[in-house]
């Protein structure tokens, strides 16, 4: 299958840059280079590896505006959100560089047979990362940062619409002191990526993307006995059962839905509201959504920019229209915005039923669905009635009730009385069709290491 690596500005539809896809020979050579570099990089002192990643963070910080402008052109993120993403990436690199000695330290064990037993964390070899377009820098930071520090080498296949940021990151790693063969950018086709996964020299694969991509990669990885981490889609519930601060809760809800123009796997997408609060919540939510200004992502007065591509906008509108045709109520939005670019009005739907695509499918864009429930049990049943299990939020004035609901949500992450957030130190990942494995925090650096048991008799 032909893959075009090109920058198509989603705000204008204009093709701004094109980049050649790698040849088969170039891909084969890249795998060989990464495998050849592993011996030296994995035995480079940890202090030197962390120093290189500290320098990566410093360069990102120095070039924040330049890096932010690239992803605004590539996928339409507003300048403010693009800057935030670069800054968050800096935090991730610094977290792992600062904490590496602790996170990778030997773990002593009590051995029933006596003697000295411990777990030593060792790198496993070259890794392939397949990254998405919605957070071009952040997604790479949480994969490449900890794994380079652990001593693995990296082959990085970015999304075809993010070639300029992919090359910028590769250049920064090399400038910072990561050897050229320890981090290699690849502009591959899907078939070439499959060959990389099959290569016995590649020891693991990390994918952030769609269910389709995750299923395909997991199948290949399993066939070739490769460790895999999958960070896939989400349809996160935002449960509101009891509050005396509804206007603020609604502001939290709108912010949680509209981050990155709604194009985040862990964005709140299904708002599940107790009946006494429901009508006011819907009115306030629709009013807040209607206030948002959608337009040029470089304009500081713009709230949210375009979707990432024309295909993304067309696909989302098909889901919305399916719901409308089958009886959903539109409280605001529901239409494309006239003119060039992949713009959709912020949209609020109610009366969505299981017969509609919007009930089961992830809505990746500025569309919110609000449901009415009678009590906590109904809220939990609805919240868990999804193939996804990434994250969720619970609002309740009683902390014990909120914690009980959080315990029973079938998700990898839950936030109580606050919208979903995060930090470099907090693990990220889900259950069910949202994927397997964790990134960020102490668990993120453990996914692709060999936890090697070492045991010696007492006194040795």
User: Active-site positions?
Assistant: 231, 265
Which is nearest to 128 in space by CA: 175, 69, 194? 194
Distances (CA, A) of 106 to 22, 109, 116: 40, 10, 12
Distance of CA 361 to the CA centre of its chain: 18
Question: Are 206 and 414 within 8 A, CB to CB?
Answer: no
Distance between CA 437 and CA 460 in Å, rounded?
36
Kindly provide the residue ranges of all beta strands, DSSP E only, lying in 293-414, ordered along the sequence: 329-332, 347-350, 367-373, 388-389, 393-395
User: CA–CA distance from 9 to each of 63, 76, 92, 256 (Å)?
Assistant: 21, 7, 28, 25
- Tokens 């337009």: give the residue: 295
SS3 147: helix
Q: For 77, phi and psi rounded to 5 degrees?
A: -65, 140
Q: Is 356 helix (H, G, I), strand (E, B) or coil?
A: coil
**What are the E-state strand segments in 139-298?**
153-157, 183-186, 204-208, 227-231, 236-240, 268-274
- Residue 116's contacts (CB-CB under 8 Å, 6 or more residues apart) are 455, 456, 457, 458, 460
**Please, which residues have CB within 8 angstroms of residue 231's CB and are 6 or more apart in sequence?**
206, 207, 208, 209, 265, 428, 429, 430, 434, 435, 437, 439
Residue 145 tokens read as 């940062």
Q: What is the C-alpha separation between 193 and 187, in angstroms, rounded?
A: 9
Distance CA 217, CA 407 (A): 31
Residue in this structure with the two tokens 């940890």, named with its chain if needed: 46
Cα separation values, 18 from 14, 59, 164, 186, 340, Å: 12, 25, 9, 15, 20
Distance between CA atoms of 281 and 338, rounded to whole angstroms?
Answer: 29
């Amino acid at each position: 299958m032909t893959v075009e690596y090109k920058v198509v500005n989603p705000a204008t539809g204009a093709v701004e840059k094109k980049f050649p896809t790698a040849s088969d020979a170039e891909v084969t050579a890249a795998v060989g280079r990464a495998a050849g570099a592993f011996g030296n990089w994995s035995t480079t002192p940890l202090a030197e590896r962390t120093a290189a990643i500290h320098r990566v963070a410093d360069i990102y910080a120095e070039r924040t505006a330049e890096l932010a402008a690239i992803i605004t052109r590539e996928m339409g993120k507003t300048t403010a959100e693009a800057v935030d993403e670069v800054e968050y990436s800096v935090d991730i690199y610094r977290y792992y560089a600062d904490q590496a000695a602790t996170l990778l330290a030997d773990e002593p064990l009590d051995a029933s047979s006596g003697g000295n037993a411990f777990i030593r964390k060792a790198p496993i070899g070259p890794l392939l990362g397949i990254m998405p377009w919605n957070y071009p820098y952040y997604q790479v930071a949480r994969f490449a940062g900890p794994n380079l520090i652990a001593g693995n080498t990296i082959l990085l296949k970015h999304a075809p619409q993010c070639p300029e940021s992919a090359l910028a990151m590769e250049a920064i790693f090399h400038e910072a002191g990561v050897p050229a063969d320890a981090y290699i950018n690849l502009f591959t086709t899907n078939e070439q990526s499959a060959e990389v996964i099959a290569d016995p020299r590649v020891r693991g694969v990390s994918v952030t993307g769609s269910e389709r991509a995750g299923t395909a990669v997991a199948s290949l990885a399993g066939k070739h006995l490769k460790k895999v981490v999958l960070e896939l889609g989400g349809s996160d519930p935002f449960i509101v059962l009891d509050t005396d601060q509804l206007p603020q809760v609604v502001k939290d809800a709108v912010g949680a839905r509209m981050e990155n123009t709604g194009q985040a796997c862990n964005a709140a997408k299904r708002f599940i509201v107790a009946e006494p609060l429901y009508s006011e919540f819907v009115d306030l939510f629709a009013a807040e959504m209607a206030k948002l200004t959608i337009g040029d992502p470089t304009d500081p007065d713009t709230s949210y920019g375009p979707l990432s591509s024309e295909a993304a906008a067309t696909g989302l509108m098909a889901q919305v229209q399916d719901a409308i045709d089958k009886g959903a109520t539109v409280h605001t939005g529901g239409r494309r915005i006239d003119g060039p670019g992949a713009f959709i009005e912020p949209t609020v739907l109610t009366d969505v039923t299981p017969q509609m695509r919007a009930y089961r499918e992830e809505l990746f864009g500025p569309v919110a669905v609000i449901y009415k429930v009678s009590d906590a049990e109904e809220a939990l049943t609805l919240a868990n009635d999804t193939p996804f299990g990434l994250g969720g939020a619970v609002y309740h004035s009683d902390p014990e009730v909120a914690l009980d609901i959080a315990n029973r949500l079938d998700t990898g992450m839950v936030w109580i009385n606050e919208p979903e957030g995060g930090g470099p130190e907090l693990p990220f990942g889900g259950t069910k069709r949202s994927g397997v494995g964790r990134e960020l925090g102490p668990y993120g650096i453990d996914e692709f290491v060999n936890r090697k048991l070492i045991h010696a008799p007492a006194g040795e």
